[in-house]
Structure formats: C-alpha cells, structure tokens
C-alpha cells in the first residue's frame, strides 16, 4: 500500500461518522437547553499554555504532547486537552471579568500515546466549562447535564458515576504530605511507577492497579480526614443535590485525576463495556487554574466527554441512535433526462426529502440495484414515457405498496400522503 494514515490517526468511514455525529448532536442539544454557549478554539497554542495549565509533571506534558517549532522559532503544541485553551481564551477576551460563563467546545485533541481500543492519538472531545461559580450547585448542574445526555443516548444504565473530593489546595497539600509520610517507609514494597510518583505526584499512586501497591494502600490515610469544614460542606452539598436530582453515584476515595489543576470535586463516568478504557467522561473543579494562567482567582468547573468512547458505548449497548436515511433515489434511464431528474430532486429536497440522483448511466436493472443498496425508501424512475408525459414513476422499495406513475407536480403531495 502506497500511503497509510499515521499511527493513531483514524479515518472515520461513513457508518462511524454517522454514529459520531448523532452522538454529538444529542449532546449539543442538551447543552443548548441547559443554556451553555459554544466557543471555538484553535488547535494550536503556545506550548506553555499547556505546560503551565495542565502541569509540568503530568504525563500529558512530559511525554504526550505534539510540540513543534513555529517558523519564528517559538514552541507551539497541538492541544492535548481543551480546558487550558479555554481559560486562555476567556482571559484574553475578558470573559471572566466579574462574570459567570457557561461554555462548551467540541473537536479533536492530540496526544502521543500508544493506541489501543478507545484510545487514539487524535480523538474527539466535547468539553464543558463553567466559570465564576464557587459552590457545589454548578458541580451538580454539570453532572445533571451529563446524566440527561447519557439517558438521551440510551447508555445511562451502562455508566456509573464515581465522585470524590480532593479538597482545597491547602487540604490537598496536607494530605499529600500525610500520604508521603505513610508510604515513604514502604518505598521498597511499591511498584516502580509508584516509586517514581512518590516524588513527583504522590496522589496518583492512589489509583494504581498494581496488586502489591493496592494492598499497601488499604491502610493508607484517607483524604476525608484532611478536609477543612468548607471542603467538607462543599462535598456534602454536592452529594445531597445529586440525590435530590435522582442521580446515582458512588464515592470512590481513590479517584484522583491526572491533571494538576483539580481541586474539590472530581468525577468520572465509567463503563466496563469498553475494555480497559472505561472512562467516557471525566472532570471536576479547578479553582486554582485561572490564577495559574495569569488571571485573577476565579472558580471553575468542567468536564470532557470522550466522543469516540461514547459512540463506541452507544454501539456496544446497541442503543438506537437515529441517523438520516435516504428517502428517494432517482433512476435516470437516458443521459438526456439528467437535468430533468436534477430538477425533480430539487423539488423534493425543497420539501425536506433526502434524494440522491443516479449518476453514470447504466441499465435500469443496475440503477435499481443501486437504489436498493442506497437504503432509499422509494425509487423514482424517469424514462422516455415519463418525461414526454411530464410524469414520474414511483416505486416503493421497502413497503408493500403498488408502483404508480403520476404527474410530477403531484409527487410531493403523494409522498406526504404516504406518510413516508
């Protein structure tokens, strides 16, 4: 084969593109009715937007970013996630100046990772961010929004919501110290990755899958013991709102997110229908981020949906996501009728019908075959007889209805009557 797409970058063929689009449209519709507004962001940013925003010591920044040298010598990066760019844009345009914002964006993100099921180097996310609201009410609203969207897609029962709190920056620092103090004497019992994290990012040891490490963690101190009253109240507030909204959740005290900017609430919607990549949607609160990127202290919370994974889940649970089907296929028996066929199709399209006109000639038999294969509900036949008498032959391909030849101007009404 001469050329191949590069590793981890996939082509979305029509069947898959259709599924993805359906998922995106449903989620967008929910965002819309919740009053969230779209923001469009560049795919490229200065590298330090991410290294500062996401955290120098995160894997994303350390080894997964696509960075390149711009022609003027500066370092730019393909965005590995959306939150940092979104904050940058908001700061740049003054959107956070004593204001609240509810925003969303959708599009591809890029991370240089080893591809596997549900994980690609270019993948689609829908990101949602809410700024200027410090309480657990927005945290609950964000989760409510997810819940509504997942129900609409028919995957609600295949997803489990896990939540946790990391407390304030101060709580987190205190807990980090306690955790390190506990683990340090057992350094040798930890797996290699966890040993490394002990110095760099100790909280992430908590969700290690390594058996020996997990066993050791059983007696480790819990974050809940290091929360101040305010943090505790925030988390309790969120839990009671979720209960009142009828949203099921489990508290997972081991849930920590990989990105540095999280504080207080963190959450993940997980499934076990997708192999090892179970997180379909994840996010949390990040009250410190705006400051880290040079803004005034501003509360923020948000999440990102992995659109590819969500679409895979929709497919896996066989939830039906309606997709646009072709209504009509226009069979053109002679080349000289092409214009006539295109005009007929145009009339139907004005009436909201999806119509494809046959191209490339061929016998009626092969054209009818195409019509059938296209999935269209009916075929419209234009031959010598029809064109000279200004008529058209309507043949139903799926329903058991008689074929009929009728005046062209009656076709739209006839189809409306058929209720197809």
Partner RNA sequence: GUGGACGUAGCUCAGCUGGUAGAGCUCCGGAUUGUGAUUCCGGCGGUCGCGGGUUCGAGCCCCGUCGUCCACCCCA
User: Does 237 engage in binding with RNA (CB under 7 A)?
Assistant: no
Query: Which residues share a beta bridge with 266?
Result: 164, 284
User: Does 280 engage in binding with RNA (CB under 7 A)?
Assistant: yes
- Candidates 244, 20, 227; CA nearest to 141 is 244
SS3 47: helix
Q: How far is the CB of 247 from RNA (least distance, A)?
A: 18
- On whether the CB atoms of residues 371 and 331 are closer than 8 A, the answer is yes
Contacts of 177-183 with CB under 8 Å at 24 or more apart are 178/221, 178/226, 179/203, 179/205, 179/206, 179/220, 179/221, 182/219, 182/220, 182/221, 183/216, 183/220
Taking the least distance from each CB to RNA, the nearer of 39 and 281 is 281
- Candidates 160, 369, 128; CA nearest to 280 is 160
User: Does 120 engage in binding with RNA (CB under 7 A)?
Assistant: yes
User: Does 7 engage in binding with RNA (CB under 7 A)?
Assistant: yes
Contact code string over 40-59 relative to RNA, x by CB under 7 A: ------------------xx
Tokens of 9: 């970058």
- On whether the CB atoms of residues 169 and 288 are closer than 8 A, the answer is yes
Taking the least distance from each CB to RNA, the nearer of 127 and 136 is 127
Taking the least distance from each CB to RNA, the nearer of 275 and 294 is 275
Q: Which residues contact 173 (CB under 8 A, 6 or more apart)?
A: none
Which range, of 88-96, 172-180, 301-309, 318-326, touches RNA by CB under 7 A? Answer: 301-309
Taking the least distance from each CB to RNA, the nearer of 96 and 282 is 282
Q: How far is the CB of 183 from RNA (least distance, A)?
A: 14
5: which DSSP letter?
A: P
Q: How far is the CB of 412 from RNA (least distance, A)?
A: 19
User: Does 107 engage in binding with RNA (CB under 7 A)?
Assistant: no
User: Does 333 engage in binding with RNA (CB under 7 A)?
Assistant: yes
CA 141 to centroid of chain Cα atoms: 18
Cα→Cα distances 40→43, 114, 127, Å = 10, 28, 11
User: Does 397 engage in binding with RNA (CB under 7 A)?
Assistant: yes
Q: Which residues contact 120 (CB under 8 A, 6 or more apart)?
A: 8, 9, 10, 308
Tokens of 373: 């294969």
Q: How far is the CB of 57 from RNA (least distance, A)?
A: 10
Candidates 48, 108, 362, 406: give the one binding RNA (CB under 7 A): 362
Query: How many residues bind RNA, per CB under 7 A?
Result: 67
Sign of CA dihedral 200, 205, 209, 212: positive
- Candidates 287, 267, 261, 301; CA nearest to 54 is 261
Residue list 250-269, contact with RNA (CB under 7 A): 257-259, 268
Which range, of 217-225, 243-251, 288-296, 376-384, touches RNA by CB under 7 A? Answer: 376-384
Taking the least distance from each CB to RNA, the nearer of 189 and 233 is 189
H or E element at residue 3 = none
Which range, of 21-29, 148-156, 343-351, 367-375, touches RNA by CB under 7 A? Answer: 367-375
User: Does 357 engage in binding with RNA (CB under 7 A)?
Assistant: no
Which range, of 33-41, 153-161, 204-212, 314-322, touches RNA by CB under 7 A? Answer: 204-212
Query: CA-to-CA distance for 86 and 93, rounded, in angstroms?
Result: 11
Contact code string over 74-93 relative to RNA, x by CB under 7 A: -------x------------
User: Does 371 engage in binding with RNA (CB under 7 A)?
Assistant: yes
User: Does 288 engage in binding with RNA (CB under 7 A)?
Assistant: no
Cα→Cα distances 368→35, 271, 397, Å = 47, 44, 9
Taking the least distance from each CB to RNA, the nearer of 233 and 339 is 339
Candidates 53, 167, 295, 306: give the one binding RNA (CB under 7 A): 306
User: Does 315 engage in binding with RNA (CB under 7 A)?
Assistant: no
Binding site for RNA (CB under 7 A): 4, 7-8, 10, 58-60, 64, 81, 111, 113-120, 123, 125, 193, 197, 204, 207-210, 257-259, 268, 275-282, 304-306, 308-309, 333, 362-366, 368-373, 379, 381, 383-386, 393, 395, 397-398, 403
């Amino acid at each position: 084969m001469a050329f191949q797409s590069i590793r981890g970058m996939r082509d979305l063929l029509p069947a898959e593109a259709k599924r993805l689009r359906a998922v995106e449209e449903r989620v967008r519709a929910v965002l819309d009715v919740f009053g969230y507004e779209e923001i469009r962001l560049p795919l490229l940013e200065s590298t330090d937007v991410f290294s500062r925003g996401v955290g120098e010591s995160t894997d994303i920044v350390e080894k997964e970013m696509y960075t390149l040298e711009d022609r003027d010598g500066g370092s730019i990066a393909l965005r590995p996630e959306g939150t940092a760019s979104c904050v940058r844009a908001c700061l740049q345009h003054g959107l956070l100046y004593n204001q609240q914002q509810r925003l969303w964006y959708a599009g591809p993100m890029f991370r240089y990772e080893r591809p596997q099921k549900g994980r690609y180097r270019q993948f689609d996310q829908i990101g949602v961010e809410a700024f200027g609201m410090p309480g657990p009410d927005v945290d609950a609203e964000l989760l409510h929004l997810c819940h509504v969207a997942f129900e609409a897609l028919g995957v609600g029962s295949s997803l489990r919501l896990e939540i946790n709190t990391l407390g304030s920056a101060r709580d987190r620092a205190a807990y980090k110290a306690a955790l390190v103090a506990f683990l340090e004497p057992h350094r040798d019992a930890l797996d290699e990755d966890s040993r490394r994290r002990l110095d760099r990012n100790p909280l992430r040891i908590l969700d290690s899958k390594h058996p020996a490490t997990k066993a050791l963690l059983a007696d480790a101190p819990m974050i809940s013991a290091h929360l101040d009253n305010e943090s505790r109240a925030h988390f309790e507030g969120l839990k009671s709102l979720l209960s009142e909204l009828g949203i099921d959740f489990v508290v997972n005290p081991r849930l920590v997110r990989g990105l540095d900017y999280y504080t207080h609430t963190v959450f993940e919607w997980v499934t076990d229908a997708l192999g090892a990549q179970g997180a379909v949607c994840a996010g949390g609160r990040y009250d410190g981020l705006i400051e880290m990127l040079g803004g005034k202290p501003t509360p923020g919370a948000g999440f990102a949906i992995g659109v590819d994974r969500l679409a895979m889940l929709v497919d896996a649970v066989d939830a039906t996501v309606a997709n646009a089907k072709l209504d009509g296929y226009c069979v053109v028996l002679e080349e000289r009728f092409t214009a006539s066929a295109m005009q007929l199709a145009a009339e139907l399209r004005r009436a909201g019908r999806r119509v494809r006109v046959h191209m490339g000639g061929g016998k009626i038999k092969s054209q009818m075959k195409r019509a059938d294969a296209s999935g269209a509900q009916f075929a419209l036949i234009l031959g010598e007889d029809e064109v000279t008498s200004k008529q058209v032959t309507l043949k139903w391909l799926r329903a058991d209805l008689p074929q009929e030849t009728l005046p062209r101007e009656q076709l739209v009404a006839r189809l409306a009557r058929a209720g197809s």
